[in-house]
Amino acid sequence: MLKFFYNAAPNPMKVALFLEETGLPYDPIPVDTRRGEQHAPAFTAINPNAKLPAIIDGDAVLFDSNAILLYLAEKTGRFLPGPGDAERGALLSWLMFVATGVGPFSGQAVHFRNFAPERVPYALKRYDYEARRHWRIIDGRLGQGRYMLGDDYTIVDMAVWGWGSRLTYMLGDDEVMTEFPNLDRLMHEIDDRPAARRAKEMTSKHAFKVKFDDAAMRALYPQIYAPDPD
């Protein structure tokens, strides 16, 4: 059975949503990043980048959420336009835009606001600006159609949901969704899907460490928060 290495963060949640949408049987394997389990050699043999999600599907070993979405969509033939379809090109562009722009800039915005050991005004300003600029492009696209590719719900919408459903926290702004009304509409629509509810229920069954204490900071950012001398 497909093994799904996950926690409840945005990138694994996209894959959890896909698995629940398709009903593919899978074995969920929690990896607690606040306890440093992502650095265990058994896990870095699967994902050398020491992050979630990852999957093992028979002989196929994959990491990076958007690569996994594309692999699973191609494998099942679900939630993507058919081969040779012009829309397939659009899907690739938007999926890569989420992977290389939306995700990283949103991630850096939250990092410099909440987790950096010092306040760096330039970094705060740059990443907040860039994250919002990327989300404006997504919102503009969603102003043209119900989903990222028009009438059809695809893996791009799932990829957007990972970060988009948590934007208030990511950008530290309770009113942020008023800036992105089309995104807000889609996030509510996906949140209400039974598969999204099941994905959240699945991740809530495991008791991940909640506390962001010093040990958690060291587990997540070992290069910044030096280990205890003893």
Q: Which is nearer to ligand GSH, 111 or 185 (CB)?
A: 111
Chain centroid, CA 128 distance in Å? 18
Q: At closest approach, how far in Å is the CB of 3 from ligand GSH? A: 16
Q: At closest approach, how far in Å is the CB of 138 from ligand GSH? A: 16
Q: Which is nearer to ligand GSH, 66 or 184 (CB)?
A: 66
Q: At closest approach, how far in Å is the CB of 15 from ligand GSH? A: 8
Q: At closest approach, how far in Å is the CB of 118 from ligand GSH? A: 19
Q: Which is nearer to ligand GSH, 10 or 180 (CB)?
A: 10
Q: Which is nearer to ligand GSH, 65 or 203 (CB)?
A: 65
Residues in contact with ligand GSH by CB under 6 A are 9-11, 33, 38, 50-53, 64-66, 103, 220
Q: At closest approach, how far in Å is the CB of 148 from ligand GSH? A: 17
Q: Which is nearer to ligand GSH, 7 or 180 (CB)?
A: 7
